[in-house]
Amino acid sequence: MASNSSGDGSSRHQIARHRLSVIAGHLQRPADSNAAVLAVDCKSQGSQPNVNTGDRGEGRTIPRRRQEIMKWNGWGYSDSRFLFNKKGQAEFTGKRYRLSGMIIPGLKDWMEGTFGASLQHKTQATPVLNTSAVQPPTLNEAFVKELKSTGIPFSHEAEDRVFRAHGHCLHEIFALREGKIGRVPDMVVWPNCHNDVVKIVELACKHNVCLIPYGGGTSVSSALECPPEETRSIVSLDTSQMNRILWIDEKNLTAHVESGIVGQDLERLLNESGYCTGHEPDSMEFSSLGGWVATRASGMKKNIYGNIEDLVVHVKMVTPRGVIEKSCQVPRMSTGPDIHHFILGSEGTLGVVTEVTIKIRPMPEYQKYGSVVFPNFEQGVACLREVARQRCAPASIRLMDNEQFKFGHALKPQVSSIFTSFLDGLKKFYITKFKGFDPNRLCVATLLFEGDREKVLQHEKQVYDIAAKLGGLAAGEDNGQRGYMLTFVIAYLRDLGMDYYVIGESFETSVPWDRVLDICRNVKARIVRECKDKGVQFPPLSTCRVTQTYDAGACVYFYFAFNYRGLSDPVHVHEQVEHAAREEILANGGSLSHHHGVGKLRKEWMRETVSNVGMGMLKSVKDYVDPNNIFGNRNLL
Amino acid sequence: MVNTYRGLDRDEEEFVDILEDKRHCSDLSFAFRTFSPPPYKGAPTCSSTELNQAVLESQYLRYVIQEVAVETGSSVEEVRDKVCRILQEMSQNLQLRFIRLMGFTVRKVFKRLFSAIYVNMKGVSALQQATQEFPVILMPNHRSYIDFLVVSYILFSYDIPVPVIAAGIPLAGMKIVGEILRRSGAFFIRRAIGSDKLYWAVLSEYVQTIVRRGFVPLEFFVEGFRSRTLKSLPPKLGMMHMILEPFFKGQVYDVTLLPISISYDRVLEESLLAHELLGVPKPRESTMALLKASKVLQENYGRMHVNFGRPLSVRQLCEGKINRCQYNLIPRDLPQKPSGEAQACGSWLAHMMVRLQEEGALISPWSLMACTLLQVPTTVLTEEGLLFHQLTEQTLWLRKLALDFGAHLSWPEKVPDSDVMSSTLALHRSVVYHKAGRVYLVREDEDERKYSVIPEEEMMRTAAAFLMLASYRNQCLHVFVRPALLALAMSITKSTQRDELLTCFCFLQEVFSNEFVFIPGRFSQDFEEACSLLKNCKAVHVSQWEVAVSDTGLEVLSFLQELLKPFIDSYQLMFRFLCEERDCVFREKEFLSAVRTLATKLIASGELHTYESLSSDMQKNVLSMLQRLGAVTKLEISENTEYKVNKSAVRRIGDMLAGRIPPQIVQAAPDARL
C-alpha cells in the first residue's frame, strides 16, 4: 500500500491496523460465545468469502453461478435462514452472522401475538426449481454466434436465467416459492470488463436484442422483471464478474472500481488498504456499485459520507450511442446540467455503468453504537429534528416506532446468564415504572458514531444532551446495535414469515420535517384500514422508522406485514394495500421514493411526480441515447 | 347517491327515554357519578391552558400576526396582545366539576320541562366507539337554546367525553351563566366577524387545534344560528372548512362527522320566535332575562327526541372530491385561501350534514296537524272552527303520505289515534284549543304581552299564531319539499314532458334554495327522487319521457302544491312590490318595513291569504335569492348597505314562477357565503 513518505508513516500503519481490529470486533463473530449477548452485529462475516476457483476475482463473494451459495427463492445465503426447531424455538442457521446458531426465544410469541400466526399452519415453498416450468429460451442465433466468437462467457441454463428474472419484491418471491415462473431472460452474459460490455452492447444493437443489466439482484421495484410484452430475445447482462478495484488514488482519496463489485467486497478490499467508502445501504451484502449508481442509492452512514450522488466522482456508462463519461475527475464543475444526473437513477434504461470513481476515506478509528428511549414517537421525532437543525447527526441516527421497538426486542437472542436477564429486567423496570414510560408508546432511537475516539465521545455527549432535553433516556449500546441488526435480518425474517402465512414488504419515502409525524401516522393507519377493508383477518403489522435526517426533511421507512390465511389472492391484496399506502404517502407530501427507485412498481406515479415537461425531458434523453430500446427493461418511464 | 348519505336504517331504531331510569336516582348522585370515558387513542388529553398556549404559539398565528402588524402599522407585540385578548374572550375552560354542576341543574330542569327525552342507543354506542378513534365533530341542528345543553348532558350520562361547543358571543356576556357555560365547554364566537382577519385567524387556529388534538369532541351548529322558523337553514361554511382543513392537510388521518337531529314536540321559544319574525327585537341574552324566562319552566313541552346519526368518515366522503396533494408545495401553516375544490367540498359536506339532520329528525303528530291546519281558510280557524274529526282524518291521511315518503314519525304507538290527536292539541294549547268538537286558533291575550309598538295589534296576534303554526309545519317540510317542487313544476309548466319538468324543477330549486336545503349539484338526483316518491304513492306515472298525473294522484299533488303556496304567494308579493316601487335603490330596513306594511294591507283586504309574507325571514330570503340570481345588487356605500333592483330581471323571475313564461335555469353567481 502506498503511503506518505513522511515520518509518521509507520504510526499511521499502526493506527490503521488498530482501527481494523476495532471494526472487525464490531462486525465479526467473537470466539467467546458469552460476548455474543452484548453485541450482535448484522452483516455476514466479511472475512469468509466464498472462494470460487472457477471464477476470476479471488476473494469475491458472488460467483457466476449464484445458486451455489444463494437461495433461488428467498433472501441471501442458502445456509442462513430462520426456522422453528423441534422445541418450537426460533433459530438462525449457518455460521455467517452474529445471530447464526442462536436461539431467539421471543420470536415465536411475537409472531403469534402480532399476526395471529401459528406454528401449526405452515406453507412449504417449492424446494427446488422445476426447470421444465421455465420457458425455453428464445435465442437470437446471429447474436449468439457473434458473442461466442468474442469469448465472453454466457449461459442459457434455466437456473441461471430464473435467478436473473427477479428482484425481491414480495410478489416476485411469492411466485418463486409457489414454483411459478413468468417471462425470464433468454440468456445470461458475464462480461469481465468495460470492453466486454462495449462489445456486448454493440452486438445487441446490431442484432436488436434486448439487454437488461443485472448487478446484485436486490431490486425492490420490479426493475428486473422482464416486460412480458417483449418479443425480442432478452439478454441479462450480469456485471458480477466485473468486480475489481482498478486503482486507489491516495492523494485525492478516490478509488476507481468496476461496477459489479458488491458492497461488502468493496468495503473489505478497501479496508485492507486502510480505507472505506462508508456507503452502507441495508442491502450492501449483495447490492453492487453499478446498481447504487443506477438507482440513486442511499447509505446508512450518509451523514458522514454522503449518498451515492455525493460519493461519485466519475462514471463510465456504455450506451447504444457509445460511452458516456466526463473528461476529468473533479469535485464539481459548471458545465451545464450534470450529465451524471442522467446516469444516476437511470435504472438500466440508458446503458450499463461499467466503472465508477468513488470517494474513499480513511477508516474510522472508533465506532460506537448507542440508543435513546423516548416516551413517545412525537418526542423522538422532535429530537431528530433538533439534531438535524444543529447539524450534529451521528453517522447514523434512526428512530423506530413502538411496534418496531417491540419487533427488535423479540429478536433478542437467548440470554445466557441470570445476571444479564436480571439487568434487563431492571432496565425495563426503570424505564416503565420509575420513569413512567408507557411500554405501548415508547420508542427508541438507535445511533452509530464514527470517527476519532475523542470526537466521537464529544459528539455522543452533544447528541445525548439534545435527547435528554427532549425527554429521551440513554438506553445503551446493545439496544442500538440490535436495531441495526434488524435491517440486515429483516429479509431473512420475511422468508420465515412466508413459511407461516405471513407476507410483508417494506417501502420508503422522503418528506419535509413538518410532515414526518403526519405521514407516519396516516400511512400506518391507512395500511391498517386497507387490510381490514380487504378482508385480512388479523390486524397487520404496520410500523415505521425515520432512517435518515436531512436539513430539510427526513427519510421514513415503513414495514407492513399481515397473516394472509383466509384470503384467496394474498398477493393481490398485498399489492392493493401497498398501492393505497403509496397514494397516502403522496397525498401527505412524501416523495415517490427516497432510494428504492421507481422501477416498474411505481411508474404510474412518475408523471405527477416530475410533471409533464419533466417526463418529456427524460423521454427525449431516452429517445436520443437508446432509440431502439435496446435497454428495454421499461423502468421509470 | 341517496343511500350514501342516508345515515339511518329504515327499520325502527330503539329509542330509550333517558329521563325514565334516572327519575329513580337522585339528581345529586347523578351529578357525582363516576365519569370515565374511554380514552382517545390518538393523543393524551390537554388542558384548556395548554390548548390556548398551543394556539398562541402556532406558526400560523405567528405568520398572521406578522402580516397584520405590517398592514396596520402596529407592533408585533400589540397584535399579539390583541390575539391574547381574543383568545381569552373565546376560549372554553372545560372542567369536570362544572359538567357535574351542569348535569345536576339540567337534569332538574329537563325533568320539569319534558315528559320524556328519547335517545337512540345504537347511535350513542356508535358515538362512544367513534370518540376513541378519530376527532369527532358533533353537528346537531339548532332549534332551541336547550340544544346547547342536551348533547353534553347525554354524553355525560353515557361516559362519552363531553364536547367543547361553539357558541355565539352574546351568551358569554351573561353574568355567571356565561362563565358556567365556558366551564362546561362552550367557546364563544363573535357574530358578524366580517373581514376581521386577525379574528378569523385566531378562531380558525383554535378550532383546528382542537380538531388536530382530537381528544375531545367538537360540537357546532352548522346552520350557524338558531332557526327562527324551525326549518333547516342553509349551512354556514366557515366553521365547516376549519374542521375539514386538518384532514385536507394530512394533520389527522380522518375526521368523524356525526349529525344529530334534535326534535321537539314543542319548542320553548315558540312564541318568542314568532314575534321575532314579526319584527319584535329579540331580547338580549342576559342572566336577568333567563331568570324572568323561568316562567316557561312551569309548562310542559312534551317529548324531545335526540337522534344520533351514524358516524361519517370525512376521508371516505371526500374520496375523489379533493386532491390533498394541493397542499404539498406551500407550507401548511402559511395563511392561504382555501382552493375552489376545498370550498366546494366543504359546501357539499355542510349541505349534506343538514340534509342528514333533516332525515334523522322525528316528525311529531303536531307538525302534520300544522300542515293540515294551514291549508284551511283563515276564517275557519279564527271564527267558526275546524271539525275535530275532519282534522283527524286529514292528519291520518298525511301521516300515511309522510311514511310513504320515508319520514320518521314520533307518533306514539299503541295509543288510539284520537287520543294522540287530543293530547297533541292539549300540549299546544298556546296555539290552538279544542272546544265542542271543533278546533280554533288561540289568539294571544292582550294582557299577557304588550306589543303596542306595532299597529293593527289584532292582526299581529293572529299573525303570531299563524307563524307558530307555520313553524311547526316547517318541521316536516323537508319530507315533502322535493315531491312538492315536482308537483309545483307540473302545475306551472302544465306539461308532462320530463325534460321540461326537470328544467322547471331546477329553476324552483334555485329560487327556493335559501328557503330549503338542497345539496349543491344534485338537481337531477333530487328530481329522480321526487319522481320515484310520487310514483311510489301512486300519484304519477313515470316513463322515460313523461311524468303524468294518475287518476288518484290529484289529491296528493294538490296537497303538495298547496303546501308551497304560502311561499309562492309571498315571493310574488315581494316581486310585485319591488317592481312597483318608484325608486330602484333601497335599504334593507326600509324594504322590510315597507313589505310588511303592504302585506298587512293586502291581508286585511283579503287579497293575500298568507301571513307568512310578514315573516322577516322570508323577506330576507327573497332578497338574498334575488341577489344570488343577479336581479338585485348590493351597493356598499359607507355604512348603509343599499340594494339596487333590476326590475325587469325581477319581473322575469316572477313570470317564470307564475308560469307566464317558460322557466330557465338561472345561472347563479358562485356561492360566496363563508
**What ipTM did this prediction achieve?**
0.88
| Active-site residue identified among A557, A559, A564, A624 | A557
d(Cα B571, Cα B654) in Å, to the nearest integer?
Answer: 8
d(Cα A1, Cα A274) in Å, to the nearest integer?
Answer: 9
Q: What is the pLDDT of residue B149?
A: 82
Residue showing cell 384470503: A567
Instruction: Search chain B and give the residue with CA nearest A519.
Output: B250
d(Cα A101, Cα A85) in Å, to the nearest integer?
Answer: 11
H/E element, B208: helix B197-213
**Interface contacts A/B by beta carbons within 8 Å:** 27
List residues bridging with A559 in a β-sheet.
Answer: A506, A543
Over B230-287, what HEC string results? CCCCCCCCHHHHHHHHHHHCCCCCCCEEEEEEEEECCCCCHHHHHHHHCCCCCCCCCH
Which residues 237-256 of chain B have a CB within 8 Å of chain A? Answer: 250-251, 253-254
* Predicted confidence (pLDDT) per residue in B134-168, tens digit: 999 999 999 988 888 899 999 998 999 999 999 98
Task: Judge: A525–B324 Cβ closer than 8 Å, yes or no.
Answer: no
| Average pLDDT score over residue span A341-352 | 97
Strands (DSSP E) found in A252-325 = 254-258, 275-276, 312-319, 322-324
Range scoring the smallest mean pLDDT among A311-325, A473-487, B464-478, B598-612: A473-487
Sign of CA dihedral B613, B615, B619, B621: negative
Name every residue in A having a CB less than 8 A away from some CB of B.
514-515, 518-519, 521-522, 525-526, 586-589, 608
* A521: chain B residues, CB-CB within 8 Å: 42, 253
Contact A138, A207 (CB under 8 A): no
Task: Judge: B253–A526 Cβ closer than 8 Å, yes or no.
Answer: yes
Per-residue burial over B497-507, b if 16 or more Cβ lie within 10 Å, else e, is ebebbbbbbbb
Task: Judge: B324–A608 Cβ closer than 8 Å, yes or no.
Answer: no
Q: What's the one-letter identity of residue B403?
A: L
pLDDT band at B671 (very low <50, low <70, confident <90, very high): very low
pLDDT band at A258 (very low <50, low <70, confident <90, very high): very high
B208 to chain A, closest Cα gap in Å: 15
And the C-alpha cell for B411? Answer: 307518533
Helices (H), B581-646: 588-605, 616-628
Asked whether residue A40 carries a pLDDT value surpassing 50, the answer given is no
| Average pLDDT score over residue span A330-347 | 96
Range scoring the smallest mean pLDDT among A26-40, A435-449, B103-117: A26-40
Smallest Cβ distance to B253: which of A525, A586, A608? A525
Instruction: Search chain B and give the residue with CA nearest A378.
Output: B43
H/E element, B83: helix B76-90
Residue showing cell 400506518: A524
Q: What is the pLDDT of residue A60?
A: 79
Q: Which are the contacts of A361, defined by CB distance < 8 A and separation ≥ 6?
A: A253, A275, A276, A277, A278, A305
Q: How far apart are the first and last CA of chain B?
A: 26
A589 to chain B, closest Cα gap in Å: 5
Helices (H), A185-277: 194-207, 263-272
pLDDT band at B21 (very low <50, low <70, confident <90, very high): low
How far does Cα A125 stand from its chain's mean position?
24
Q: What is the pLDDT of residue B66?
A: 95
* B325: chain A residues, CB-CB within 8 Å: 586-587, 589, 608
Q: What's the one-letter identity of residue A527?
A: I
Verify whether residue A275 is a known catalytic residue. no
Q: What is the pLDDT of residue B210?
A: 95
And the C-alpha cell for A538? Answer: 388479523
| Average pLDDT score over residue span B391-412 | 94
Residue showing cell 275557519: B380
State percent of chain B over pLDDT 90.
62
A590 to chain B, closest Cα gap in Å: 8
Mutation target to probe the B interface, by most B beta carbons within 10 A, among A377, A517, A524, A529 is: A529
Task: Judge: A521–B324 Cβ closer than 8 Å, yes or no.
Answer: no
Range scoring the smallest mean pLDDT among A17-26, A81-90, A598-607, B588-597: A17-26
Q: What is the pLDDT of residue A37?
A: 33
pLDDT band at B674 (very low <50, low <70, confident <90, very high): very low
Smallest Cβ distance to B253: which of A515, A522, A608? A522
Q: What is the pLDDT of residue B200?
A: 94
* A586: chain B residues, CB-CB within 8 Å: 325
| DSSP for residue A254 | E
Task: Judge: B328–A522 Cβ closer than 8 Å, yes or no.
Answer: no
Q: What is the pLDDT of residue B354?
A: 96
| Average pLDDT score over residue span A457-466 | 96
B207 to chain A, closest Cα gap in Å: 18
DSSP annotation string for A145-202:
HHHHHHT--EE--HHHHHHTS--S-HHHHHHHHTT------SEEE---SHHHHHHHHH
| Average pLDDT score over residue span A246-259 | 97
And the C-alpha cell for B389? Answer: 274529526
d(Cα B183, Cα A482) in Å, to the nearest integer?
Answer: 50
Asked whether residue A603 carries a pLDDT value surpassing 80, the answer given is yes
Task: Judge: B325–A589 Cβ closer than 8 Å, yes or no.
Answer: yes
DSSP-derived 3-state class of residue A562: strand
Asked whether residue B667 carries a pLDDT value surpassing 60, the answer given is no
And the C-alpha cell for B532? Answer: 320515484
How far does Cα A593 stand from its chain's mean position?
14
* B251: chain A residues, CB-CB within 8 Å: 518
Which residues 298-357 of chain B have a CB within 8 Å of chain A? Answer: 323-325, 327-328, 331-333
Q: What is the pLDDT of residue B4?
A: 35
| DSSP for residue A539 | P
Instruction: Search chain A and give the residue with CA nearest B251.
Output: A518
d(Cα B670, Cα B343) in Å, to the nearest integer?
Answer: 11
Asked whether residue A421 carries a pLDDT value surpassing 80, the answer given is no
Residue showing cell 275535530: B388
d(Cα A421, Cα B398) in Å, to the nearest integer?
Answer: 78
Instruction: Search chain B and give the residue with CA nearest A528.
Output: B253
d(Cα B613, Cα A603) in Å, to the nearest integer?
Answer: 63
Q: What is the pLDDT of residue B499?
A: 92
| Average pLDDT score over residue span A228-235 | 95
B250 to chain A, closest Cα gap in Å: 6
Asked whether residue B449 carries a pLDDT value surpassing 70, the answer given is no
A526 to chain B, closest Cα gap in Å: 8
* Nearest one of B541, B502, B530, B506 to B404, comparing CA atoms: B530
Range scoring the smallest mean pLDDT among A383-387, A511-515, B584-588: B584-588
Smallest Cβ distance to B253: which of A514, A521, A586? A521
Query: What Cα–Cα distance (Å) separates residue A480 from each residue in A477, B114, B357?
Result: 5, 65, 55
Task: Judge: B250–A586 Cβ closer than 8 Å, yes or no.
Answer: no
